[in-house]
Amino acid sequence: MPTISVIVPAMNEAQNLSHVLPRIPRGVHEVILVDGHSTDDTIAVAQRLMPEIRIVQQQGRGKGAALRTGFAAASGDIIVMIDADGSTAPEEIPAYVRALTDGADYAKGSRFLPGGGTSDMPLHRKLGNMAFVYMVRLFFGGHYTDLCYGYNAFWARVVPMLELDRDGFEIETEMNIRVLRRGLTVAEVPSFESARVYGVGRLRTIPDGWRVLKTIFRERFQTQLGPVVRPVATGLAGVGTPVMADRSPRFPIAFEILRGEVAPEIQALAEEYEPVPARVAAGTE
C-alpha cells in the first residue's frame, strides 16, 4: 500500500495552520512541517493542532530550500507539497494521489484547467505566469496550462532524478521543467487556489519572476542533467506502466507504478474524484 507524506513549508504561519492541518485527510502516513526559522508560534501551534506532526528545520534559505529539506526527510512512497497559508486545499490531496496511482509519475496542480481556479493572483501575475507557460511549452514540449504553482504530488522515487538545487519560489518551475526533461509521465490536476488566510505572502512579483525566467533559460541552455532514464512505454494517455529503457546506475530502481490501494480513508475520497483526462506531457530529452 503506497504511503503518503505531506510536506508543508511554513515561515511564520501560526495564524494560518488551523486552516490547513485539520483539513488534511486522515490516512496520510506523515505530515512534515518544514520550518523556515519562524519567529512566531508556528511550531507550537502545529504541534497543538497535530501532535503527531514531524517538524524539520529547513537547511538554507527560501521556499525551495525548505521543500528540498522536506523531500529529503520524507519516508512515504508519495510526496504531496502544500502551502501553510490556506491557499492550497488539503481536500484535493486524494485527487493528486489518484492521478499518481492511475499511472502518472508526477501530478501538478493547475489553476487554469476547467475545474481549477484562483482567487490569489492579480492580473499581472496571471499574465506573467502565462508567458512562462508558453515559454516552457516552446522550449520543453508538453502542454502545461500552469507553471508557478506550489501544489504538486509525485512518487518519492522521482526526487533523485530531478537533481533540484533552486532555493526560492522558482523551485516549482525547476521541478515542472525537469519532469519534462526526464520524459516522465505528468498529469495536471485541476486545483483551486484561495487567497492566503492571514498575513502577507513573501513572493515578490518582479524579483521572483526574474528568478523564474532565469531558471527557464538555465534549464534550456545550461544545465546538464545526470544520465537520462527514458520511459519507453507510457501506455494510454499516460495511464500505464512506464518502463525504463535504460537503467542508469544512478537510478537503479525501475519505475513500476505501485498499484493497489492507498489508505482506505484516502482511497474512498479518491474514488469520488472523477479524473479529468490526464494532460500528459511529452518528454523532450
Q: Which residues have a Cβ under 8 Å from the Cβ of 280 and sit 6 or more positions away?
A: 104, 185, 186, 187, 234, 237, 238
* Total residues in contact with Mg ion, by rule CB under 5 A: 4
Query: Does residue number 150 form part of the binding site for ligand GTP (CB under 6 A)?
Result: yes
Note the helical H segments in 222-275.
264-272
Angle value at C-alpha 234, between 230 and 238, nearest 5 degrees: 125
Query: Does residue number 87 form part of the binding site for Mg ion (CB under 5 A)?
Result: yes
Among 166, 178, 181, 196, binds ligand GTP (CB under 6 A): 196
Residue 168 in contact with residue 203, Cβ under 8 Å? no
Instruction: Name the amino acid, one letter, at 275.
Output: P
Residue 4 in contact with residue 95, Cβ under 8 Å? no
Query: Does residue number 19 form part of the binding site for Mg ion (CB under 5 A)?
Result: no
214 touches, from Mg ion, ligand GTP, none (C-beta below 5 to 8 Å by class): none
Query: Does residue number 174 form part of the binding site for ligand GTP (CB under 6 A)?
Result: no
Judged by CB under 5 A, the chain residues 29 through 48 that form the site for Mg ion are none
First to last CA, the chain: 32
Task: Between 37 and 143, name the residue whose CB sits nearer to ligand GTP.
Answer: 37
| Per-residue cell: 58 | 529547513
Residue with cell string 527560501: 62
Q: How long a stretch of residues is the chain?
A: 285
Task: Between 35 and 102, name the residue whose CB sits nearer to ligand GTP.
Answer: 35
Query: Does residue number 85 form part of the binding site for Mg ion (CB under 5 A)?
Result: yes
Among 5, 27, 74, 87, binds ligand GTP (CB under 6 A): 87
58 touches, from Mg ion, ligand GTP, none (C-beta below 5 to 8 Å by class): ligand GTP
Q: Give the shortest CB-31-to-ligand GTP separation in angstroms.
A: 13
Among 62, 90, 183, 231, binds ligand GTP (CB under 6 A): 62
Q: Give the shortest CB-173-to-ligand GTP separation in angstroms.
A: 12
Taking phi first (over 0 means left), then psi (-120 to 50 degrees means alpha), and beta for anything else, what does residue 30 get?
beta
Among 2, 25, 27, 36, binds ligand GTP (CB under 6 A): 36
Taking phi first (over 0 means left), then psi (-120 to 50 degrees means alpha), and beta for anything else, what does residue 136 get?
alpha
Torsion of CA 32, 71, 262, 260, to 10 degrees: -170
Q: Which residues have a Cβ under 8 Å from the Cβ of 73 and sit 6 or more positions away?
A: 32, 34, 54, 56
Select the span of 17-25, 86-94, 254-262, 276-284 touching Mg ion (CB under 5 A): 86-94
Task: Between 119 and 248, name the residue whose CB sits nearer to ligand GTP.
Answer: 119
Angle value at C-alpha 140, between 285 and 9, nearest 5 degrees: 100
Task: Between 112 and 251, name the residue whose CB sits nearer to ligand GTP.
Answer: 112
Query: Does residue number 63 form part of the binding site for Mg ion (CB under 5 A)?
Result: no
Per CB under 6 A, residues contacting ligand GTP are 9-11, 13, 34-36, 58, 61-63, 66, 83-85, 87, 120, 150, 196, 201-203
